[in-house]
Amino acid sequence: MSQTFRNRIVDYTAAAVVLIAVFICLVPFLYILSQSLSSSKAIISQAVTIYPIDFNIDAYKVVFGDAAMLYSLFYTVILTAVFVLLALTVTILAAYPLTKKRLKGRSVLLLMMLFTMYFSGGLIPDYLNVKNLSLLDTPLALILPGLMSVYYMIILKSFFQNLPDSLMEAAHLDGCNELQILLKIVLPLSKPALATVSLLYAVYRWNYFQDALFYITDQKLYTIQLKLYNVINISQQMSGENLLVNLPSESLKAASIMFGTIPILLVYPWLQKYFVSGIMIGAVKG
Amino acid sequence: MKVKTGRSISISLAALLIASTLSACTSNSSSGTSGTNTTNTTPNATAGAPKEHRTLTVEVFDRGKPGQPDLNDNYWTKYINDNFGKQFNATVKFVSVPRAQEVDKLNVLMAAGQAPDITYTYNQGVVYNYVQQGGLAELDSALKQYGPTLTKYLGDDVLKYGKFNGKQYSVPGKRTVLASSNTFIRKDWLDKLGLPVPTTPDQFYDTMVAFKEKNPGNVSGVIPYGFSLQPLNPGLSFIPEAFKPSNLTEEQFATLQAQSIWLTNWRMPGFDKAVSYVNKMFNAGLISPNFATDKDGKLLDADISNGKVGAFQTNWDGPYRTAPGNYANLVKNVPGAQLVPIDPWQNDAGKHPKNGYSPNGMYIIIPKTSKNVDLAIQYLNWMSDPKVTLFLQNGQEGVDYNMVNGVPKQTGTTNTGDKMMTVANNLDYDILSNGIELGDQKKNDSAISAGYPGYEKDVENALKVSMVDYYATYFYSIPNAADAKNNAALKNLSAQMLAKLIVAKPAEVDGLYKSLVQQYMDQGGKAVEDEFIKNYKAQNNK
């Protein structure tokens, strides 16, 4: 009796702690959301906290009324999808062979890849490289340079290594070649790892804007984050103008942030089932 | 049904991507060919054959304004290409640079030799660096040959700001509004208490005490003097003007007030007294209690809007601006509230000196890698024609604006669509003028106030007040390398020093001031000051 009672107290306490933590994580998000739905008078007077005041959707009308914003959202969605697909392919094709002990020069290859994790050419050599490859002002400039992250490759590689060898030997005896083993045995068993790596790649591509800033000058190829960055930070460096510049209102900034954040948030629930099934696979194998 | 729409969306998305990839490829290859064209034609062009077609690249700020048109293809770029382009057989191509990251992007473009023929920035330090690294084209001969109208328009007063080590490396734009700040006070509070407008620091102090004790606005948590300490620009606004001796020598002025008055000139005579003055106000509970943590001034804006603040200093037109719209919000929250600009910072000579902006605007530079120096100067020369300036800043008469008493009044066509100006008067295309330019200061002033609908009279008055006893900071023709190196760190340190000094006990301020300034001098302040002294002497052959 007292045992269950004590358990219950522990449960409730844990639940309360988790709820508070969730709330703390949600507050900034709610703050931006309510700002985007409030009047600028309420925002300037600092009356807005986690629920909107003077509820209105004017800011969203402006954001959704901006064809360039919608265009760049769709463009970024496609760019991210293509990037994730290509990046995942390349990462798998690099990680899988590196798990095979019979691959000659395996350690040298790995070392060369690791080297790039510690040393990079720097911004300007990177820029010159992209320029000399004629990639400036093309979507490829945002895809090729970051196509494989060594870090994520190592995550995948360790996951592949932990798969039982006997499975692959069995497939081999049944007449599968290496490609078939990879496609039919290894990848289906690695869904949780693949989902994680895809999500990491997707978030990276979605949020990273520095490369777009430097490699892209054609506004049609701006990613949504670069546009967002422009809208939000414009007021911070305006000292030179000393003039009447019609700055975007706080609610418009907030609405733009919501506009750029929601799509990537939607990816997570969709991938969640793979995380769950991943846990179950582990459980069966013991 | 659902499947169908999903599929058609994915097909159209795929088509969009392919299209954008292809269009990028074509645009890339075409720019490639135009690039080779330029190199082929350069020898001819310098030999004086304007018939060869050339491409001139020009930077344009991308301010990310919702609904803005393509910055390389709109009403204004068409006008430029139809006029300048046809006349000089050139295509003007605009390269957009995000406003908030302009320096980062510029550094990369310069380092890679990819900067546009006409590049610009407001950041003087960046230009200094490029000059010292030898990255900029020298413009003296080109200006002489191709820029007669340009040279006349800017005059020596402005052009000297583009001279480094005696050579013209930059064409500075002309600033038409030199006003910096104003002190505003709640007129309705003064009236309620039957107090006069304060005209000296002592009167101002007494007024603030009266605001605190009598609380004429009947608000909880009254803040007689609203103040925020912003680490990017730490300072005391115009208060030091009142305590600076009026008889400083030119050398003292040049070396001890090398920065604007609203920054921390720790070694300027009288700055210590200004600090004590604010310290006294703080200890009497007269200034914003959270001034040190209000780093972006948003809390101050809120306090002003909510009617808690009696007086404050800000940009000369601050309250009248639509963003954040402090005055409009204040009147909504407190009907009958009235703000007026006042002039209380009287010095020992009975004057009200005000440090304003120097007459130069943005720095227009031409990278050394440019093959179109002559064409670039011709472009600027074309732009300095008053007719072109008028069009680029206002549009077409009768359509986009009407002349009322010699001042253009906008019809509103330039707020949206193809004609949208992302900044008032198109400053990012009309790069030569920073502010409306009608060729006459009086007309300019009335045109400026027309930009604040509902506050025309107030703005005209505010501009007048903020220009009483105007002066500019001393002009140096030699860059200060120590300042470029230490500026950011010293600013940061200054913000901390100022916060400590303001909250100190009044009896301890003097001692603390000395020890903190000593620390400041040791951490780079001395090197900066020494170099200013050295440069001043070199410039004046002493």
- What's the CATH fold of domain A60-285? MetI-like fold (1.10.3720)
A184 vs A202: CA distance, rounded Å: 25
Least confident of A19-23, B35-39, B71-75, B197-201: B35-39
Q: Locate the chain B residue with the closest alpha carbon to A237.
A: B100
Q: Locate the chain A residue with the closest alpha carbon to B356.
A: A242
Yes or no: domain B181-355+488-508 corresponds to CATH 3.40.190.10: yes
pLDDT for the residue B5: 44
Q: Locate the chain A residue with the closest alpha carbon to B323.
A: A247
Cβ contacts of A41 on chain B, cutoff 8 Å: 305, 325, 329, 332-333
B144 vs B171: CA distance, rounded Å: 13
pLDDT for the residue A166: 87
**How far does the CA of residue A177 sit from the closest CA of chain B (Å)?**
33
Cβ contacts of A240 on chain B, cutoff 8 Å: 122-123, 361-362
Structural domain boundaries in chain A: 1-56, 60-285
In B405-534, beta strands by DSSP E: 407-410, 433-434, 470-471
B314 vs A255: CA distance, rounded Å: 28
Q: Locate the chain B residue with the closest alpha carbon to A142.
A: B21
Residue B144 backbone phi and psi in degrees, to 5: -65, -40
Q: Using omega within 30 degrees of 0 as the cis cutoff, is the peptide bond preceding B324 cis?
A: yes
Fold match flag (B45-175+359-439 vs B181-355+488-508): yes
- Contact state of B424 with A131 under an 8 Å Cβ cutoff: no
Mutate to test the interface with B, among A230, A236, A253 (most CBs of B within 10 A): A230
Cβ contacts of A247 on chain B, cutoff 8 Å: 323
Across the strands, what pairs with B354? B470
pLDDT for A162-190, tens place per residue?
Answer: 888 888 889 989 998 989 999 998 999 88
Nearest Cα neighbor of B302 from A33, A43, A248, A36 is: A43
B409 vs B403: CA distance, rounded Å: 6
What is the count of residue pairs from A and B with beta carbons less than 8 Å apart?
165
pLDDT for B214-270, tens place per residue?
Answer: 999 999 999 999 999 988 889 999 999 999 999 999 999 999 999 999 999 999 999
Facing A240 at nearest CB: one of B70, B122, B302: B122
Mutate to test the interface with A, among B28, B36, B61, B304 (most CBs of A within 10 A): B28
Name the amino acid, one letter, at B145. Q
Facing B424 at nearest CB: one of A75, A138, A244: A244
Cβ contacts of B71 on chain A, cutoff 8 Å: 219
**How far does the CA of residue B48 sit from the closest CA of chain A (Å)?**
32
Q: Above pLDDT 90, what percent of chain B?
A: 68
Check pLDDT > 70 for residue A276: no
pLDDT for the residue A246: 57
Q: Does residue B337 sit in helix, strand or coil?
A: coil
- Contact state of B96 with A244 under an 8 Å Cβ cutoff: no
Please give the helix or strand (H or E) that residue A268 lies within, else none. helix A250-285
Q: Locate the chain B residue with the closest alpha carbon to A217.
A: B96
B427 vs B435: CA distance, rounded Å: 7
- What's the CATH fold of domain B45-175+359-439? D-Maltodextrin-Binding Protein; domain 2 (3.40.190)
Cβ contacts of A244 on chain B, cutoff 8 Å: 317, 321, 424, 451-452
**How far does the CA of residue A237 sit from the closest CA of chain B (Å)?**
6
Q: Tokens standing for B111?
A: 């380092």
- Contact state of A78 with B16 under an 8 Å Cβ cutoff: yes
Structural domain boundaries in chain B: 45-175+359-439, 181-355+488-508
pLDDT for A103-154, tens place per residue?
Answer: 899 999 999 999 998 888 888 889 999 999 999 889 999 999 989 999 999 9
Q: Above pLDDT 90, what percent of chain A?
A: 37
Q: Tokens standing for B397?
A: 């008469």
Least confident of A249-263, B8-22, B307-321, B325-339: B8-22
A132 touches chain B (CB under 8 A): no
pLDDT for B415-432, tens place per residue?
Answer: 888 999 888 889 899 999
Nearest Cα neighbor of A61 from B66, B25, B209, B5 is: B66
Mutate to test the interface with B, among A85, A246, A257 (most CBs of B within 10 A): A246
Nearest Cα neighbor of B417 from B23, B76, B79, B63 is: B76
